[in-house]
Amino acid sequence: MHIEPTTIVAELVLARPGLARVFEQLGLDYCCGGKRSLETACKRKGLDVTSAIQLLEAGMIDAPADETDWTRASVDELVDHIVTHHHDHLREELPRVAAMSVRVAERHGSDDERLVMLAETFLTFREEMELHMAAEEHVLFPACRTLEESGGFARLPFPTIAMPIAQMEHQHEDAGGALEQLRDLTDGFDLDRARCNTHRALLDSLAAIERDLHEHVHQENNILFPRALELEASARVSAGA
């Protein structure tokens, strides 16, 4: 695969899932911002696109051969993976990390007010993510499954699947914004700035949540949602033929 400055970011990760690691290293958004060209994404981060391409090309050589290609999975398989691998994991992590953020704020917030802001930001992020995942699992994901089972001809509880998809994508952008705030408040989850072992564990957990959410949102925004839209559109074309 040849990489150009005009190559769309999401297309790279769709073709070679292992490149997600390189995008994480570069700090480039391949999930919510996946529809941008590589050149545009680099400009937004102040990165040299030629250097980024060199790193990505090297990453294609080093990428693991056993990466799962979710573009080849059925909607049913992909939804099951998102729920069991991402949602269930987040449901376990969010309360644990929220409790740590509060403890760190209580112990060290008087010395660094950013730790109080960090806890407040994460508590809001937790609440919004739990509501978001519930909405996906009870409304959008069943609709996606039904579209696949019916070949796109299912009667849905809304005029078009595009409506809940647009709402979920907007919430993904909000979640991405919260992660950026968390990254800024922690100087990039810098472990060297940890004030205690709990703070260190918090920073490590936040970095892990960020990595997982990027992969999670990529699989929804760039694989699942386009598949559902395509199923619905194809059925409408057939019905009108």
**Alpha carbons 166 and 204: distance in angstroms, whole number:** 32
pLDDT of residue 241: 41
Tokens describing residue 59: 């990453």
Q: Which residues of 229-240 are buried (b: 16+ CB within 10 A; e: fewer)?
A: bebbeebeeeee
pTM, full prediction: 0.84
Residue 124, CA distances (Å) to 96, 127, 215 in order: 14, 5, 21
pLDDT of residue 155: 84
156: which DSSP letter?
P
pLDDT of residue 62: 63
Beta bridge partners of 37: 8
3-state secondary structure of 37: strand
What length is written for the chain?
A: 241
User: Could you list the mean pLDDT of each consecutive 10-residue stretch along the chain, which spans 241 residues?
Assistant: 88 85 87 88 92 88 66 94 96 96 96 96 97 97 94 87 96 94 95 94 95 94 95 79 41
Rounded to 5 degrees, φ, ψ at 8 are -75, 135
> Domain limits of the chain?
9-62, 71-240
**Alpha carbons 90 and 76: distance in angstroms, whole number:** 20
**Alpha carbons 142 and 164: distance in angstroms, whole number:** 12
